[in-house]
Copies of this chain bind each other. A is one copy, B any other.
């Protein structure tokens, strides 16, 4: 018995998160996300609204979690119809879920205008829905929609809605800041009023939105006031400005004494170390650019830029970092940038296995080259492998494995023999390997794909070595706007060892920029192979 109170984490990524502009989960997407959430250890996974659309109905044909409570969301029964005669309610209760979360009006204005029934009829609908749910053997919860605005407009009625939900047998009564405009002090005061009205905090939940940038603070304020269930989404996705970000809230609950001393969740500290991975896996699934500045898990969350800090941070991190990065699965980054001092560079090079003496004059050359290129648009912070190549070329020697004498990319859109318009892309590459000139041609989905295939089609004696090289991702960023602007291309590559690396190219020509990044990727791969061979030899293992 730890003596700590239990906090419950309720994820609504697949239900409220579905309202995010640009997000549309397929059934397969939902299955994958539910697994991520279940494996991570959230207490509840709200999967959607069975009956409202085909995807959700199909999703609830099976229970999709092993440990987390699987929750179906939907409206309370309609006024004027009995619980047993409401088809929407029936679909909810038939769904393969452990629990049902009913959304109920708790602002009298909405009862009148959106539902078109009386205040009493709404209370009866809440009571009947919860009763039916409990009778069906499922856990019942009620989202009191617009609760805080409803309380401000008519506190007696809002409380009546919440109390009705509780007394009918709800495990949780969730107070929702649906419009997102409530302030933390108001959250605290109103939650206190709800508890004073007879609903214990351990049956209360909070559902906050980020319309004033305080969804996290409002959730934590509600917990301070006695609430014990927190609703939110992964990476704060959601309608308008998003829902409360569970990725941001959980580490605070578990690592800050103000909360960690009083509360525990269903997640262990080992589990917490997987939260950066969870956040990134979710971004990848949605094909969303990760927020580099996200609290705890963002790529920059523990990155120091100013040279003034770097050496101090490495000595006693807790005086510069509010939590140790590894507790959330993140790492400290000492960033390469034109503000970085020599100690930054040396630390960064060391991190990549390149040892250089502080007094080495080639270090100044490298620093100058990096600053120059970053001013042109190269982003070495995101292109590890290109940075390493530049460093190795400046500080030492990188062999010229092969030379590209020229290339030509062509995209043509024309009528084919059937009179249909089609587009073809072709690339021709001329390389010299070991004094011999090789020419390759390839077709592709587009000019960059064609160039990539042609470039890796015949590199003579190196061909076998790069056979397991594959491209995983391709990012384009236009700097300075317009079609005549500077293009920055970042390419992610990987090979059969599972290693992944990023390379960068910059040009006013997108094909040129892509070509630079492709070249760096191939040369990096060839260098990696040689490093691996040397390490193997050094270890006395037969190659």
Contacts and interface: CB of A to CB of B under 8 A. Distances in A.
Nearest to A473: B481
Contact of A248 (B22, B212, B301, B482): B212
A118 interface: no
A367 B375 CA distance: 46
Contacts of A21: 292-293, 300, 303, 305, 335, 337, 381
Given A411-B511, A447-B510, A217 B256 contact: no
Contacts of A481: 287, 472-474
- Which 5 residue pairs across A and B have the least CB separation, nearest first? A181-B322, A217-B217, A446-B509, A406-B414, A213-B248
Contact of A476 (B415, B473, B476): B476
B415 A407 contact: no
A121 interface: no
A446 B511 contact: yes
B221 A212 contact: no
A457 B319 CA distance: 62
Interface string A376-396: 000101000000000000000
A184 interface: yes
Contacts of A179: 320-322
Contact of A212 (B109, B216, B292): B216
Interface stretch (A238-246, A270-278, A344-352, A529-537): A238-246
B413 A410 contact: no
Interface in A193-243: 210-214, 216-217, 220-221, 224, 239-242
Interface of A: 19, 21-22, 24, 107, 109-110, 113-114, 146, 149, 179-181, 183-186, 210-214, 216-217, 220-221, 224, 239-242, 245, 248-249, 251-252, 256, 258, 287, 292-296, 298, 300-306, 312, 315-316, 319-323, 335, 337-339, 375, 379, 381, 404-415, 421, 423, 425, 444-449, 452, 471-485, 487, 491, 507-512, 514-515
A56 to B, nearest CB: 12
Nearest to A486: B445
Contacts of A315: 113
A485 B478 contact: no
A511 B447 contact: yes
How many copies of the polypeptide does the oligomer hold?
2
A406 B415 contact: yes
A338 B24 contact: yes
| Main secondary structure on A side of the interface with B | mixed
A221 B511 contact: no
Contacts of A210: 293, 295
Contacts of A479: 287
Given A21-B337, A241-B294, A294-B241, A447 B411 contact: yes
A360 to B, nearest CB: 24
Contacts of A491: 483
Given A146-B319, A409-B411, 6 more contacts: A240-B302, A408-B413, A411-B511, A445-B484, A471-B482, A471-B483
B483 A258 contact: no
